[in-house]
């Protein structure tokens, strides 16, 4: 087994390498003056089981193209098996046709990764579970729920917790966390007038006197979380925190979160930007390196990955 890192999140790749006690493969990745990407692998990988770690986060197109080029380089270097470890799978929000003459870009990206030569994909908390079916190669979708469960139990020891889904589509995700915590669940009924904007219509569930934990997979502009936190406090919640897998945190997200009713926003380090969120004063990143590292070890040894969540 060998590990290789792209440039999207080298710190996470180093943490995974430390967990597995396996050094990262020496690789040269350059960009020409016109933006073209050049990759050269400086070690022999013939017949090796290779795991390339690369999130397709901002700039999404550059990091996606870099991943494809790295896979092609490994394939042409005669690697035995290539696993694309994609902690954050970009374009996952475009998983269906939302109107006439619109693409299903998540499927397109899945095709590109498979066509480039990847034999397997390992990712974390896909925006929608059915995206696994977009890949024509084996795909393991890990869940961050056990990691967040441990952190919540250490941070919030009271018995008045309530897990809140920020929309109807996230109910299954929120219920899974609530079941592990032994907590109740509430749902935010919202509408989205247009992309990047959300409006809270109603709160389903009695949150009065409860410490609310909003649980979601992606925070981008922060509008949904901040609006939900304001409404939850107005309905009598004593405290509102948010646990989100992927901290995209684009635009004025840090400013919104800093000025919001949220006590803190906890993200994983699947995206490098989330680890640099201290400027907001409320963003905290926790590492998913042990989870990804253990999944990589199990895949390399042909062991069960699903048992990680039993």
pLDDT at 181 > cutoff 90: yes
pLDDT of residue 273: 78
Distance CA 65, CA 8 (A): 11
Among 162, 159, 138, 151, residue whose Cα is nearest residue 240: 162
| Domains in the chain, CATH or no CATH each | 2-142+290-309 (3.40.50.2020), 145-287 (3.40.50.2020)
Tokens of 252: 């004025």
Q: Choose, from 157, 190, 282, 307, the residue flagged as catalytic.
A: 190
pLDDT digit string (tens) for 17-51? 999 999 999 999 999 999 999 999 999 999 999 99
Annotated binding site for ATP: 34-36, 93-94
Distance CA 197, CA 221 (A): 9
Compute the mean pLDDT over every residue in the chain, rounded to the nearest whole number: 93
pLDDT at 112 > cutoff 70: yes
Distance CA 8, CA 63 (A): 6
Q: Which of 66-70, 75-79, 200-204 has the lowest mean pLDDT?
A: 200-204
ω before 139 within 30° of 0 (cis)? no
pLDDT at 56 > cutoff 60: yes
pLDDT digit string (tens) for 262-309? 999 999 999 997 766 555 579 999 999 999 999 999 999 999 999 998
Share of the chain above pLDDT 70, in %: 95
How much is the average pLDDT of 11-22? 98
Chain-centroid distance of CA 4 in Å reads: 19
C-alpha atoms less than 13 angstroms from C-alpha of 102 in its C-beta half-sphere: 10
pLDDT of residue 87: 98
Distance CA 83, CA 138 (A): 10
307 carries an active-site annotation: no
Distance CA 104, CA 108 (A): 7
pLDDT of residue 275: 64
DSSP H or E run through 260: none
Q: What is the pTM of this model?
A: 0.94
Tokens of 95: 């998983």
pLDDT of residue 228: 92
- Indicate the pLDDT class of residue 190, thresholds 50, 70 and 90: confident
pLDDT at 251 > cutoff 90: no
Share of the chain above pLDDT 90, in %: 85
pLDDT digit string (tens) for 123-176? 999 999 999 999 999 999 999 999 999 999 999 987 799 999 998 889 999 999
Dihedrals φ, ψ of 66, to 5°?
-60, -40
Among 51, 49, 116, 46, residue whose Cα is nearest residue 78: 46
Q: Which of 61-75, 117-131, 219-233, 265-279 has the lowest mean pLDDT?
A: 265-279
How much is the average pLDDT of 88-105? 94
Helix (H, G, I), strand (E, B) or coil at 228: helix
Distance CA 31, CA 38 (A): 6
Place of tokens 């990262």: 24
Beta bridge partners of residue 29, listed in sequence order: 39
Distance CA 104, CA 97 (A): 6
How much is the average pLDDT of 56-69? 97
Dihedrals φ, ψ of 29, to 5°?
-125, 120
Annotated binding site for Mg(2+): 127, 167
């Amino acid at each position: 087994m060998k590990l290789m890192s792209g440039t999207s999140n080298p710190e996470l790749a180093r943490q995974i390498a430390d967990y597995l006690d396996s050094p990262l493969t020496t690789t040269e990745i350059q960009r020409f003056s016109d933006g073209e990407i050049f990759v050269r692998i400086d070690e022999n990988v013939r017949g090796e089981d290779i795991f390339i770690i690369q999130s397709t986060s901002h700039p999404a197109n550059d990091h996606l193209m870099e991943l494809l080029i790295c896979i092609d380089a490994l394939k042409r270097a005669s690697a035995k098996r290539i696993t694309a470890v994609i902690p954050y799978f970009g374009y996952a929000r475009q998983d269906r046709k939302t109107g006439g003459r619109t693409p299903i870009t998540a499927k397109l990206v899945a095709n590109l990764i498979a066509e480039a030569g990847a034999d397997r994909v390992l990712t974390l908390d896909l925006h929608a579970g059915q995206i696994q079916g977009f890949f024509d190669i084996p795909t393991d979708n890990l869940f961050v729920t056990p990691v967040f469960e441990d952190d919540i139990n250490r941070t919030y020891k009271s018995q008045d917790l309530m897990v809140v889904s920020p929309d109807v589509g996230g109910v299954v995700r929120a219920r899974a966390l609530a079941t592990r915590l032994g907590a109740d669940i509430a749902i935010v009924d919202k509408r989205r007038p247009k992309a990047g904007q959300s409006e809270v219509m109603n709160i389903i569930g009695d949150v009065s006197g409860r410490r609310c934990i909003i649980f979601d997979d992606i925070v981008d502009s922060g509008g949904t979380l901040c609006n939900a936190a304001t409404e939850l406090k107005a309905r009598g919640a004593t405290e509102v925190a948010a646990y989100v897998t992927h901290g995209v945190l684009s635009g004025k997200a840090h400013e919104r979160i800093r000025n919001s009713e949220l006590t803190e926003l906890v993200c994983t380090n699947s995206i490098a930007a989330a680890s640099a969120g201290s400027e907001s004063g409320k963003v905290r990143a926790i590492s998913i390196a042990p989870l990804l590292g253990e999944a990589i070890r199990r895949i390399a040894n042909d062991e069960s990955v699903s048992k990680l969540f039993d």
